[in-house]
Amino acid sequence: MLLTQWLLVAIFALTLIGLVFFPNKPERVFGSTTLLCLAASFVSTDDILSNAVNPGLVTLLLLVLCSFAYERTSIIRRISALMLNGKSTTASFRTLSFTALSSALISNTAVVATLISVVKKNTVVNPGKLLLPLSFAAILGGTLTLIGTSTNLIVNSLWLEQGQESLGFFDFTLVGGAALVACLLVILLRQNTLADMPSDQLEVKEYLVEAQVKPNSKLVGKSIEANGLRNLDTLFLVELVREGRLISPVTPDEVIQPEDRLIFSGDVSKVLVLQQFDGLTLFAQLDGLLRENLTEVLIKPDSAIVGETLKSAGFRARFDAAVVAIRREGTSLSGKLGDITVQAGDFLVLAVGSDFCARTNLTKNFYILSGHKPDNMLSGWRDSLAIFGFIIAIALTMVTSISLLASLMFYLALLILSGCLTVNEIKRRFPIEIWLIVLGALTLAQAFEHSGVAAIFANEIEQLLAGKSALIALVVIFFITLLLTEVITNSAAAALVFPVAYNIAIGLGVNPLPLVMAVAFGASGSFISPYGYQTNIMVFNAGNYKVADFIKFGWPITLTYSFVVLMLLPQIFPF
């Protein structure tokens, strides 16, 4: 190969390394890949602009934008109220089936977020036995249709770039449906192997609360025990931060000094008892917002404050709210609240101001679990319009020649004209991360073609697998994608493996569709790690699971899923 071709191979390798070391920033990695390909003249600015408006990519972006409206409708909440009743077995079956079918049409992240609080409050099935299956059912449901998961639409975008016709709405259904039925059976049979969530965890949520000692406080100069800070109702003093130094455990005879920060763990409902101590100021009191009316929220995976500390996030300016406490189930938090880096799935208790409900950025950043509800939740005729408008848009795609792209354009226009969605919300929540990931993948695939690396790669594969079955390539591609999904997330895995799979098929002289579908299904097979899929992260925190729980419960599902998919792909999509 030429030096320039080796340079492109190096860019591909750097992209993979970047995704492994920065799994939470795939958009930055693929954005850098795009710039490197442009700088090395593998692609032109016209190529990049053409990729930016790829029909498959635009369809994906429109679907995400439309989801901002229907995730605020009442449909999931209404149906979920009918699931968890009767016998535990039938309740589990109804819940998991509803989750899967809903995820075929609606964002599975929104479905799981809505159901988490319902599952945790139910008295029919212990939440510990249902939250992890809930995530797996949502993942499996996403494989049923073209719009069920972003990975399917990403693969479709890359497929269109190769000059192929768009994948059909139900092209995934036969394989995905068979995998769903088989895996749901395994889930229900093994559900009882999951440990129950202890009743004390259901009743009391262990939040981390911070209070600072004022210089003129009467607590200064006295020990922890003398101040009565050791015997608080459901609050336990776990740490003390003094001049940047962490003291843990805190002994009863530790003498309090000015500006000490006391870190408590326990029931956040008892947090106001700390105000009874002279000169003890809670973290939220610094903004002057603390009052008896508190709001609990769950951080969304695409929240703008993920990766920022509570101090740098600027809660007061952004949301007219201050953080009272934070909880990250499955992980022990430590240190000052202001220095804790926010992660997706974190639970926060907020003291909110009078303008909180009117803020339009709440639904982008939070799932509001209790307390105030944002004013922009849809109701009345707008609620019905968003629900039935989406159903009609999808139905038109299925029964007429109207493309999904055109159908979603009209649906989005209807949402804007009716006030279900505002232009400001679209600008604020535009999915730039997904756009950059797919743009980078399209650019990389184009660079492979322009540089001649794709042709060289295809010839090498043809010689390597000469006389051997293409099934070998199918199995290898599927498991490579499956493994990468657990390491670098599903969207990044699909975007990275697609050009490899496509060129292998060209080199073998076979229909590339089976290998492309192997990429799509492999990228949706995250069952053994809490970090490969957004819904897994959410239930990992909410259910207080350990990584070992995912491995033990997930490996039989991974084997079942892999067996069904690999058996059916060559039959339904022949070489």
How many whole angstroms separate alpha carbon 131 and alpha carbon 136?
9
- Does residue 208 register a pLDDT over 60? yes
- Given a contact cutoff of 8 angstroms between Cβ atoms, the answer to whether 178 and 568 are in contact is yes
Low-confidence winner among 40-44, 149-153, 191-195, 331-335 (lowest mean pLDDT): 331-335
Task: Give me the pLDDT at residue 374, please.
Answer: 52
Q: Which pLDDT score is estimated for 127?
A: 84
Q: And the tokens for 120?
A: 């945790």
Measured distance CA(45)–CA(61) in Å, rounded: 21
pLDDT > 50? residue 292: no
Cα separations in angstroms, 144 against 152, 169, 293, 512, 563: 10, 9, 43, 20, 17
Cβ pair 394, 407 in contact under 8 A:
yes
C-alpha–C-alpha distance, residues 378 and 359, integer Å? 15
Mean of all residue pLDDT scores within the chain: 82
CA 502 to each of CA 35, 147, 457, 470, 506: distance values in angstroms, whole numbers, following the listed order: 23, 21, 11, 12, 6
202 has pLDDT over 60: no
**Is residue 425 within 8 Å of residue 360, measured between CB atoms?**
yes
pLDDT at 287 over 60: no
Domains of the chain: 204-370 (3.30.70.1450)
Q: Which of 21, 27, 52 is nearest to 433 (CA)?
A: 27
Lowest pLDDT segment from 45-54, 198-207, 227-236, 343-352: 198-207
Whole-number Å distance between alpha carbons of 354 and 357: 7
Question: What pLDDT sits at residue 555?
Answer: 93
Specify whether the CB–CB gap between 508 and 461 falls below 8 A: yes
Query: β-pairing, 294-299 with 366-370?
Result: antiparallel
**Helix or strand run (H / E) with residue 93:** helix 88-103
pLDDT band per the 50, 70, 90 thresholds, residue 205: low
What pLDDT, on a 0 to 100 scale, did the predictor assign at position 90? 85
Q: Is the pLDDT of residue 566 over 90?
A: yes
Which pLDDT score is estimated for 206?
Answer: 61
Where do we find the tokens 């959410």?
538
- How confident is the model at residue 185, as a pLDDT? 95
Q: State the pLDDT at residue 417.
A: 92
**Residue pointed to by tokens 């999509």:** 573
Q: What mean pLDDT do residues 501-524 have?
A: 89
Mean pLDDT (whole number) for 296-316:
83
Amino acid identity of residue 139, one-letter, is: I
Position 523 pLDDT exceeds 50: yes
Q: How confident is the model at residue 364 (pLDDT cuts 50, 70, 90)?
A: confident
For residue 203, pLDDT over 70 is answered with no
- Average the pLDDT over 539-551 and give the result: 81
Going by the DSSP 8-state scheme, the letter that residue 346 receives in this structure is -
CB 437 within 8 A of CB 26: yes
Instruction: Provide the token pair at 548.
Output: 């070992």
Banded model confidence at residue 341, pLDDT cuts 50, 70, 90: confident
| More confident position, 179 or 228 | 179
The answer to whether 138 and 534 have CB atoms below 8 angstroms apart is: no
**pLDDT at residue number 230:** 67
Prediction pTM value: 0.68
User: Residue 498: which residues within 8 A CB-CB, separation 6 or more?
Assistant: 154, 155, 158, 441, 445, 516, 519
Tell me the C-alpha distance between 271 and 277, whole Å.
12
- Residues 360-382 have a mean pLDDT of 71
Task: Look at residue 2 and tell me whether its pLDDT is greater than 80.
Answer: no
Instruction: Give the pLDDT score at 271.
Output: 66
Q: How far is CA 515 from the centre of its chain?
A: 26
Confidence of residue 200 (pLDDT cuts 50, 70, 90): low
Residue 285 CB contacts under 8 Å (≥ 6 apart), including other chains? 275, 322
Sign (positive or negative) of CA dihedral 301, 303, 309, 315: negative
Segment of 73-77, 142-146, 380-384 carrying the highest mean pLDDT: 142-146
What is the average per-residue pLDDT within 347-366?
Answer: 79
Residue 318 pLDDT > 70, yes or no?
yes
Give kind and range of the element (H or E) at residue 326. Answer: strand 321-327
Q: What is the pLDDT of residue 141?
A: 93
pLDDT band at 204 (very low <50, low <70, confident <90, very high): very low
Separation between Cα atoms, residue 6 and residue 4, nearest integer Å = 5
3-state helix, strand, coil in the chain (%, to 5): 60, 10, 30
pLDDT above 70 as % of the chain: 87
Bridge partners, 317 (sequence order)? none
Where is mean pLDDT largest: 284-288, 417-421, 528-532?
Answer: 417-421
Q: Report the pLDDT averaged over residues 391-405.
A: 85
Asked if 91 and 52 touch (Cβ cutoff 8 Å), the reply is no
Burial class of residue 427 (count of CB atoms within 10 Å of its CB; 0-12, 13-18, 19+): exposed
Average pLDDT value for residue range 316-335:
76
Share of the chain above pLDDT 90, in %: 17
Q: What is the pLDDT of residue 182?
A: 95
Q: What is the mean pLDDT of residues 416-421?
A: 89
d(CA 98, CA 137): 9
